[in-house]
Structure formats: C-alpha cells, structure tokens
Amino acid sequence: MLGSGILKGLAETAKNFVGSYIDESGLTTIEYPDERQTLAENTRQFPFLVFDGDDAMKGLRCVSCQICEKECPPQCIFIVKSKDKKPDHVGKPQFYPATFDIDLSVCMSCQICVEVCPFEAIKMDTEFELSTSDRFGQLLLHKGQLAKPNSHFQEIHPTDAAVSDAALAADKAKAEAKAAADAKAKAEAGIPRPLASSPEAVTIPPALGPPNLPM
C-alpha cells in the first residue's frame, strides 16, 4: 500500500535517533581537537630534512645536490648551495645547503622529493596542524624549521626508517672497508708486485659517492 515505504523509512531513522542516545559508540564522528585518530603509518603531509647527531646544522644529510628542487612538480623547493664543504656521514667532504626553503602553501605532499633524494636526506612528516596566522612569512619554512632528527623519522615511520638506516649503515660499512682496503693497498705499494686493480674500484669511482640506494 502507498506509504508503507515511508513508514519503514521513518522507523529506521527513529531507530538511529533513539539508538544514538542509548549507545554512543555508533556515532562515527571523532570530535577532533578533543579526540584524535591514530594516524596511519604511511601518513604524509610535508617534507622535513633529516639530520644525524645533535647539531641540526652540522648533521644535516642534505648535500645540496638540488635534485629535489628540480623534480618537485610545483617547484616549491628553493636551495642555495654552500661555497664550502662539510663532511657527510661517511666523512667525505660535501656541499651543504646554505638556504633550503619549502613553501608550505605550494607543496602538494606528493613525496617526489623524497623518492628522488639519493642521500636519505628528505622525508615526509606526519604533522598536519600547520596553520599559521601569517600567510606570507610563516608559510615559507626555512632550513632551521625543516631540520628534524633521525629519531623523529624513526618514530613516525618506523618501517621506512629501518630501511633507510640499513641502507646508510651498509653504505658506511662499504666506505670503511674501502678505506681500509685503500690504506692496505697504499701500505703494500712499496712491494713490487703487479696487481690488477680490484673490480670494485673500477666499477665504483670514489668520486660518485655512495652507490645507488634501494628505494
């Protein structure tokens, strides 16, 4: 009969209405500032620069290669290369960014900068409460604001951080082994013995820095 569907619908909504007062667990709303959802591990908002050790400026992993600046789709990264060099994590002297700015209002959280960085130097943060009261000054984040310790990375993205740390450790071990081998070769150079150079030394010229990292 006409109207039976309406009655059914009315019963359904009445059930929801009354039920929501009896059992609040059915309400799907999370009342945000008071309650928070636990973020998924892969949450990403905005990049930050990873540094090792205690001093943010000294430990910055970024070598100012400017790959990320070129790759960033909306072109929101601005880097000025330093004139001098400082040692990186394996002890090799490298350039560092004299200026490293990212425009928060332009960044689209695509993570491409992270994907292309060969030095594990830039990663995505999960922080999302980024609003400021000054839309011109404070939305352009500088090197100091962007630098965050590796421990922060380990905390927010444990899986990714483990992979990244392992790659860096392998890298370092290789560099040390090579340094030791070089030292040995130097020491043995006095003995006249025609030695073919080791295959590794040929394939990886030291000037290229660390080999490709697993991404």
Interface ranges with other proteins (CB under 8 A)? 1-3, 6, 9-10, 12-14, 16-17, 20-21, 26-29, 31
Q: Which of residues 119-138 bind ligand SF4 (CB under 6 A)?
A: 119, 121-122
Structure tokens at 128: 């999302």
The residue to which tokens 């999370």 are assigned: 30
Q: What is the 3-state secondary structure (H, E, C) of 130-157?
A: CCCCCCCCCCEECHHHHEEEHHHHHHHC
Q: Is there a contact between 186 and 201 (Cβ–Cβ < 8 Å)?
A: no
* For ligand SF4, the closer CB: 65 or 168: 65
Q: What does 98 bind: ligand SF4, other proteins, none (CB cut-off 5 to 8 Å by kind)?
A: none
Q: What does 10 bind: ligand SF4, other proteins, none (CB cut-off 5 to 8 Å by kind)?
A: other proteins
Residue 184: Cβ-neighbour burial (10 angstroms; 0-12, 13-18, 19+): exposed
* Three-state secondary structure call for residue 5: helix
Please tell me whether residue 213 binds ligand SF4 under the rule CB under 6 A: no
C-beta of 45: minimal distance to other proteins in Å? 25
Structure tokens at 124: 């995505």
Please identify, among the stretches 31-39, 117-125, 126-134, 196-204, the one whose residues bind ligand SF4 according to the rule CB under 6 A: 117-125
* Three-state secondary structure call for residue 20: helix
Q: Site map for ligand SF4, 45-64, x if CB under 6 A?
A: --x--------------xxx
